[in-house]
């Protein structure tokens, strides 16, 4: 790796783009979002918002959204969310609150993923949701009289997106969102609270012992520059551990994004060295295993698995319980990826244990199963192992269309 590599230009934060678009669409007035993520998830959300009556205009780097001053009502439209798990879950809550009817469809993998906790919650509050076939593919049909607010229970929630979906709704009445969050990624819930506070004020969501209290109101339009994507940045942190070099970002990720913690944690454990100008791999790297809880940065799991193959002590990654339910079964994919690089992997309850050393070359052709994070992780593996191939490189367009060019420029300097 070139020690003087140019700054990495990250895409706009996918998570904050999704939240910003929805908050602007339901606010009062015209918002301007700058530097939005340009991946497929953001595109499908913008398309769905347009079908729900939201006026959106793109001019250069700016996205202008005329808010509807309330929750979005269904008008019998078909909303194709493609691969977007957050798009599906966020819009389900919106249409349930706004009322009307909509048909939600998406990729076969998305419709297989768990959504039951949110669906059950919305059904208990008065929405009717049924599984149907649309052109032979599974879909969800919703009818709702409109839900003004009330007490929602997500006690058994396994996804922070269920909670975020309810937080993003502009309720007409004071609303309790009850959840223990024992199985949910708290960092992404806090990210949602930051976004909601920007549009609706810091007092719009209050923490309670058993959940959150949402105040009524749709908030006001905002002018917001979206920070860089911290989840995308984690792949370049892993690349440092694989091939060395120095790393800086042209636009820093949001410091309150949960995956921004990864650089700090890796530095605290002695695997990275950080100064005012750049980040580099520690020299020498620690002999002890890299031990991390993935709950704060689950999207980094595939990249970290790759990095651990190259670390002297390997790694022990905990908090893996949600990885099998992502865009692909990431636990299975990580195991195949590690083995294709010459390492070994095993699962001890919820701890993913990785050992090297890496192979000099590989004859494997990896199928990321359409999962952008798995494809990007395999790309990091290619930095250290020749012959490693990827069958579907284009799936990175879900979140980071320019990933391969960005990685190549940074690698070559």
- What is the reported pTM? 0.93
pLDDT digits (tens, 9 = 90+) for 365-398: 999 999 999 999 999 999 999 999 999 999 999 9
* Parallel/antiparallel/unpaired status of strands 175-178 and 211-214: antiparallel
In the predicted structure, residue 1 carries a pLDDT above the cut 60? no
CB atoms within 10 A of CB 268: 11
Is the confidence at residue 266, as pLDDT, over 90?
A: yes
User: Taking the domains of the chain in order of start, what are their residue ranges?
Assistant: 230-412
Task: Specify the pLDDT at position 204.
Answer: 97
Q: Residue 338: enclosing H or E segment and its boundaries?
A: helix 330-340
Q: In what order do the strands lie in the sheet with 272-274?
A: 246-247, 279-281, 272-274
- Percent of the chain exceeding pLDDT 90 equals 81
- Say what the pLDDT of residue 2 is: 56
Structure tokens belonging to residue 356: 């090297």
Q: Report d(CA 403, CA 44) in Å as an integer.
A: 19
183 pLDDT more than 80: no
Model confidence at 184, pLDDT cuts 50, 70, 90, reads low
Strands 272-274 and 279-281: antiparallel
- Is 311:288 a contact under the CB 8 Å cutoff? no
Residue 283: the pLDDT is 93
pLDDT at 3 over 80: no
Across the chain, mean pLDDT equals 93
How much is the average pLDDT of 28-32?
98
- 121-151 pLDDT, tens digit per residue, is 999 999 999 999 887 889 999 999 999 999 9
Q: Is the Cβ–Cβ distance between 367 and 391 less than 8 Å? A: yes
| pLDDT the model gives residue 135 | 78
Q: Record the tokens describing residue 300, joined without a space.
A: 């980094």
Q: Which residues on adjacent β-strands are paired with residue 213? A: 176, 206
Report whether CATH 3.65.10.10 matches the domain 230-412: yes
Residue 29 pLDDT class (50, 70, 90 cuts): very high
Beta-carbon contacts of 78 under 8 Å, excluding residues fewer than 6 positions away, are: 51, 102, 103, 105, 134
With 90 as the cut, is the pLDDT of residue 325 above it? no
CB distance 290 to 307 below 8 Å: yes
Peptide bond preceding 286: is omega within 30 degrees of 0, i.e. cis?
A: no
User: What is the rounded distance in angstroms from the CA atom of residue 354 to the CA atom of residue 366?
Assistant: 18
Contact 120, 153 (CB under 8 A): no
| Strand pairing category for 315-318 and 344-348 | unpaired
pLDDT reported for residue 210 = 83
pLDDT of residue 290: 98
pLDDT, tens digit (0-9, with 9 covering 90-100), for 65-119: 999 999 999 999 999 999 999 999 999 999 999 999 999 999 998 988 888 889 9
Mean pLDDT of 178-184: 65
In degrees and rounded to multiples of 5, residue 264 shows phi and psi of: -65, -40
Nearest to 300 by CA among 247, 346, 239, 252: 239
Residue 121 phi/psi, 5-degree rounding, is: -60, -50
Does residue 213 have a pLDDT over 70? yes
- State pLDDT tens for residues 347-370: 988 899 999 999 989 988 999 999
Cα 197 from chain centroid (whole Å):
20
Helix spans in 126-229 (H): 160-167, 186-200
- What digits encode the pLDDT tens for the residues 83-97? 999 999 999 999 999
Angle at 224 between CA 220 and CA 227, to 5 degrees: 140
- Name the 3-class secondary structure at 172: coil
């Amino acid at each position: 790796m070139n020690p003087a590599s140019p700054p990495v230009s990250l895409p706009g934060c996918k998570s904050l783009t999704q939240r910003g678009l929805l908050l602007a669409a339901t606010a009062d007035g015209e918002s301007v979002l700058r530097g939005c993520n340009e991946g497929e998830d953001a595109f499908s959300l913008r398309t769905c918002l347009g079908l729900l009556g939201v006026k959106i205009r793109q001019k250069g780097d700016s996205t202008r959204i005329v808010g509807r001053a309330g929750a979005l009502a269904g008008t019998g439209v078909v909303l194709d969310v493609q691969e977007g798990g957050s798009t599906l879950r966020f819009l389900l809550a919106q249409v349930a609150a706004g009322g009307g009817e909509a048909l939600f469809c998406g990729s076969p993998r998305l419709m297989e993923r768990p959504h039951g906790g949110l669906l059950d919650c919305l059904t208990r509050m008065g929405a009717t949701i049924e599984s149907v076939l649309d052109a032979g593919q599974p879909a969800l049909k919703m009818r709702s009289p409109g839900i003004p607010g009330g007490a929602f229970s997500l006690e058994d929630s396994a996804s922070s997106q269920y909670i975020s979906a309810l937080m993003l709704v502009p309720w007409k009445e004071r609303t309790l969102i009850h959840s223990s969050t024992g199985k949910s990624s708290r960092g992404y819930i806090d990210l949602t609270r930051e976004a909601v506070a920007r549009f609706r004020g810091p007092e719009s969501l209050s923490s309670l012992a058993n959940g959150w209290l949402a105040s009524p109101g749709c908030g006001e339009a905002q002018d917001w520059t979206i920070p860089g994507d911290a989840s995308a940045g984690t792949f370049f942190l892993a690349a440092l551990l694989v091939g060395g070099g120095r790393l800086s970002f042209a636009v820093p990720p949001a410091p309150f994004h949960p995956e921004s913690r990864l650089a700090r944690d890796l530095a605290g454990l002695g695997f990275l060295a950080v100064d005012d100008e750049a980040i580099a791999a520690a020299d020498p790297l620690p002999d002890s295993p890299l031990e991390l809880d993935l709950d704060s940065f689950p999207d980094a799991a595939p990249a970290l698995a790759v990095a651990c193959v190259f670390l002297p002590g390997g790694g022990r990654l905990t908090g893996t319980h949600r990885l099998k339910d992502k865009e692909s079964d990431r636990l299975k994919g990580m195991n195949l990826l590690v083995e294709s690089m010459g390492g070994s992997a095993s699962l001890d309850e919820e701890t993913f244990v990785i050992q090297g050393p890496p192979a000099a070359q590989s004859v494997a052709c990896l199928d990321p199963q359409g999962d952008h994070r798995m494809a990007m992780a395999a790309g990091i593996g290619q930095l250290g192992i020749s012959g490693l191939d990827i069958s579907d490189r284009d799936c990175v367009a879900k979140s980071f269309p320019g990933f391969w060019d960005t990685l190549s420029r940074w690698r070559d300097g």
